[in-house]
Each structure stands twice: as C-alpha cells, then as structure tokens.
Structure 1
C-alpha cells in the first residue's frame, strides 16, 4: 500500500500500525513530501523496525497525484502484482482493506466507495458532503462513467491495470488525479468494482482538503473532461 504523507506526524505510526495488524501480508510504502513536522523521520524509524515498511523521501510538496505516481513507479519496479493507495490520516479504515482485496479477484481496479450501498461518511459537515456527492455526480455526467465515487482515494490496482493506463502520460497532480485514473481505467475497457467503506474524518492534524481545493479540482475536471470529449469527437469524425 502506497501512503503519501505531508505533515502527518500525529497519524502515521497509528495508521501504519493498524494496517500491519489488519493485513500482516501487505507491505507499506510511505511517500513523504519533505514534511517539516518530522513525518519522514517517523517513517524511517518504522521502516528500520519492520522490513515490510519502506520509505521514499521527496524533496518538495508537489501534489497528491505526483506522490502517488512516484510510489506506483517504485512499487512497479519492485515487482508487485497488486498496488494500493490509502490516506495517512485515518479516514480509510485498514480493517476494511480485505473488502478491496477480495473484490480484486474479479476486477482490475477496486475502489473503496463512500457512495454505494453500505458505504458511509462519518463526521463531515453537510456542506462538504454535498460538495463531494455533487462533484461525483458531475464527474459521471461529464465523463460518462458509472463510477459512484470517482474521487475516492482508497483503492487497489492490478499491476496490469497501472501498466495499461500509461502512468507516464498522467499530468494531473492534485486531487483530480483520482478521477483521472478511474476514467483511464474505464476507457481502456477494464473492470472497475466499488465496495462499501466507512470514511471517517480525521481526528488529528489538519485536513488538506478545503472548499477552495475542491472547487479547483472541479474546474480542472471540467477543462480536462471537455478536452477529452473534443478529442474523442475528432477521432470519431476521422473514422467516419
């Protein structure tokens, strides 16, 4: 599991401990973006004590997507056949990871979804919940995909999926990254499954998400989605 971090010193040891207890056979890769609060040092200490934990230190905070792309590249080069992603803040429950891994037996990408039956969001204000649900509805309408929670960050991929969606061409680095990869997976005819999870708002530390960040993500999705549609339209005309 790839876990990106920036200023997660209050959460990292706690969440990695839960993950290792829930899934002892799952290795952990922490990708730290040069956190000034010492998160990287905590990650190094955890890695020194547990061979299943490794750390990548990046020199700057370059965005969530950039951190994941770096982590995926490291995991692919290391030969892993299943590669996952989750937040470091405790919003994704490690004890529910088995749901994603079980579903991957018949899927190419599994998303831990807040918005399928059985899923839930805990301790979010109504405004943020409506923004998230509305954003996902907008994604479905704009991009024409059936994924209920395309913005979710609790996922597991087959190696073949990450290879098929051409990570080298991914340019999205912020929160739109999640939508980008879900769309690429669907566009290549691969199977996306969603399983219900309980998304719990962080109890410690500061959230990296805000209304401004969410709005910017929607604007980027709009520009990107319209560009994708224009490209598909030109392609269909060229085949006519």
Structure 2
C-alpha cells in the first residue's frame, strides 16, 4: 500500500528535520509526506522547505496562523482524498513521541483493516518517560472516553493511526465539530459507526525528545466534555 504521512506542526523546528529523514528511511522513496504548519514562530516551515527542496516527496502546507490540530487534519485529509494518489494516511505527532519505525507495521496492517491504531494499551505497548500523574491521567482519559462513547478500543485517545483512504472517503470527517485531540476520537468513532475493521498494534510512546509538551488545561477540559458531544452526535 502507498501511504501519505500527515504531520501537523507548531514549533517543531528541532524535531522536524530528523523526523522527515527517519520517515524517508523507513518508508522508501515512494511515500509522500505532507507537513501542515500553523505559522510556527520558531521557523519550522523553513526547515521543511529546505528538506522539500531535495526531497520532492515532502510537501509543506504553510498556514497563516495557529488554526489548530483539528483544522490541520481536516485540510490535509481533504487534500489527500482530492488528489486520489494514496492508499492510506498516517496521522502522527511530529516530535518523535510516535516513532517512525512503527509506520511500516501500521501500513501493512491496513491491507486488512480500515483503521489501524498505534496503541499504548495493548499487550506489548507502553509509555516511556512519563511520571505517575501523566500515566494515570492518560489511563483515566481513555477509560472515560471509551465508557462514554461505548467504543471497544483500548487506546481511543491515540493520535498515531493509519486510515485507508477508500474507507475515509465514506466518512464525513469535515462535519466533526470537536477540536484538538478530541477530533481524533471523533474520527475513530465515525469509522466504528460505519462498520470499519479496526485493529490495534502495540507501540512504545515516548515523551517528546524536543520542545515543550502541548498538554494544557484546555486539552483536559476537552477530554471531559467532547466525549459526551461525540456520543450525542451518533444518536
């Protein structure tokens, strides 16, 4: 399968160059990579331009402001579908929390599944370099979202996924109103409600190697409120 990797970025100058190099090493020359940058003040876009100048498979979509993760994915997924060149889409963080070494396994699993999740909470998965508070918060958030939405996925809040484009084309993802990481929960829910074949493979999630964590009070608030909105949207 031919994948397209989508990387939303904001202030990822330190990580984006090494990440693009590692993705190319893992996926070979055929895969394409789309970076959606929200006017990062640290110069992330310039690093991507330099890489794209020598690697035609890397594309930059540079936006005029900090428009957010949900908007970045909506724009990127629509572009992928409109171009019609890729069999699947990889969503992942741009800070090495999601290591590119897992991408080939995600793509391989998509041959038989419509949605593949890189999961911290199946056998063989896990989290490195988080303190007890972060681990408990993540576990509780997953349990809460799964219970409210009633979706039998171990890592519902995961951002590391592979989406088959033929199934994605049937999903009204542009109607999702959730913001931030809750948008990815809503997307998984739409897949499940349309009968998608869903599979989780184990990954080791590693706390970011570069920059600052983007965990905030707003993200925690969204995690409490958005699952109820997502559940209600399915009625």
Please say if 1:186 is aligned against 2:192.
yes
**2:13 — aligned with what?**
9
Paired residue secondary structure (2:31): coil
Farther off after superposition, 31-40 or 75-84: 75-84
CA distance in 2, matches of 1:117, 1:66: 33
Q: 1:127 aligns with which of 133, 138, 146?
A: 133
- Largest Rg, 1 or 2: 1
Paired residue secondary structure (1:199): strand
Q: 1:199 aligns with which of 195, 205, 218?
A: 205
**2:70 — aligned with what?**
65
Farther off after superposition, 72-81 or 123-132: 72-81
Please say if 1:106 is aligned against 2:145.
no
After the TM superposition, which residues 77-96 of structure 1 pair with which residues of structure 2 at under 5 Å, given as runs?
A: 77-79=82-84, 80-96=86-102
Specify every segment of 5 or more residues in structure 2 that has no aligned partner in the other structure, as ranges: none
> Normalising by the residue count of structure 1, what TM-score does the alignment of the two structures yield?
0.91
Instruction: Return the offset for 1:221.
Output: 2.0
Structure 1 residues 78 and 225, CA gap change in structure 2 (3 angstroms): closer
* Alpha carbons 1:116, 1:195 under 8 Å: kept: yes
**2:25 — aligned with what?**
21
* Alpha carbons 1:83, 1:156 under 8 Å: kept: yes
Farther off after superposition, 115-124 or 98-107: 98-107
CA distance in 1, matches of 2:110, 2:186: 20
Paired residue secondary structure (1:164): coil
* Alpha carbons 1:62, 1:173 under 8 Å: kept: no
Paired residue secondary structure (1:4): strand
Q: 2:153 aligns with which of 128, 144, 147?
A: 147
Please say if 1:48 is aligned against 2:53.
yes
Cα deviations by residue, 1:51-80 (Å, 9 ceiling, x for unpaired): 110110111112111111111111112212
* Alpha carbons 1:176, 1:220 under 8 Å: kept: no
Instruction: Return the offset for 1:226.
Output: 4.9
Instruction: Return the offset for 1:160.
Output: 1.9
CA distance in 1, matches of 2:107, 2:42: 33
> Normalising by the residue count of structure 2, what TM-score does the alignment of the two structures yield?
0.93
What's the RMSD between the two structures over aligned residues? 1.3
Q: Which has the higher helix share?
A: 1
Farther off after superposition, 10-19 or 201-210: 201-210
CA distance in 1, matches of 2:184, 2:81: 18
Q: 1:166 aligns with which of 161, 164, 172?
A: 172
**1:236 — aligned with what?**
none
**2:163 — aligned with what?**
157
Cα deviations by residue, 1:21-55 (Å, 9 ceiling, x for unpaired): 11113211000001011101111111111011011
Please say if 1:76 is aligned against 2:54.
no
CA distance in 1, matches of 2:224, 2:102: 32
